[in-house]
Amino acid sequence: MGWIGAVACLALWAAAVARAQDDRLVVVQDESSMERTIESYLKSKHQLVINEKFPAPEDLVLVLPFSAKENIPKFRIEIDTQALNKADNGVVTERGVRITLFTGIKAPAEKRAAVLAAINDFNRRKVFSATYLDTDGEVILDWTLNVMAQGLPTEYVYDVLARQNKLWGEFYPELTAAMQ
């Protein structure tokens, strides 16, 4: 086979290992490795447009712009991870993948009570997602995936993106009714 063949085989093996690692999220100690894995997976597997922002030097947030169905305004989803639990020695043992849908819609002060009533009703029916008003009054849909020692398939992140998109499509008519 020769050394060129051996190098080619080694390169193919390394690419296969890297791709296999993209298919599964594992607990990492730094703030951006998991986001890089998610970004690589979503770009290669689902051809999503992903932008990056860096709120802190070691932190990476993935930003996905979306156009929803007819009559629903554009929105964005941000993906960020954070340590949820650490061992006594400071090693991260559980990391959360926070998937946040920013609607771009702010509830006017005079409509906040009605909007909050609609949000509370929606939250009672959709227990795995959290919908709330942020400090500026923007309607937010939030979902967290827990990644523990055994890991988690990266496809779960895409699943949540699809669910958030669907949830927003369901909630938007309720929100607009509450704001009238």
- 104-119 pLDDT, tens digit per residue, is 999 999 999 999 999 9
Question: For residue 151, is pLDDT > 90?
Answer: yes
Element holding 137 (H helix, E strand) = none
The domain that holds 115 is classified in CATH as 3.30.1460.70
Q: Is the pLDDT of residue 6 over 50?
A: no
The pLDDT value given to residue 16: 36
pLDDT-derived band of residue 50, with 50, 70 and 90 as boundaries? very high
Q: Percent of the chain, pLDDT > 70?
A: 87
* Strands of the chain, DSSP E: 24-25, 51-56, 59-66, 75-86, 92-106, 130-133, 138-147, 152-153
Confidence category of residue 66, pLDDT binned at 50, 70, 90: confident
CA distance 145 to 157: 8
pLDDT tens profile 24-45: 999 999 989 999 999 999 999 9
CB atoms within 10 A of CB 84: 17
- Structural domain span for residue 87: 2-178
H/E segment holding residue 30: none
- pLDDT band for 148, please (50, 70, 90 cuts): very high
Give me the number of domains the chain comprises.
Answer: 1
pLDDT tens for each residue of 153-170:
999 999 999 999 999 999
pTM (predicted TM-score): 0.84
Virtual torsion, Cα 55, 169, 36, 20, nearest 10 deg:
170
Q: What is the mean pLDDT of residues 58-87?
A: 89
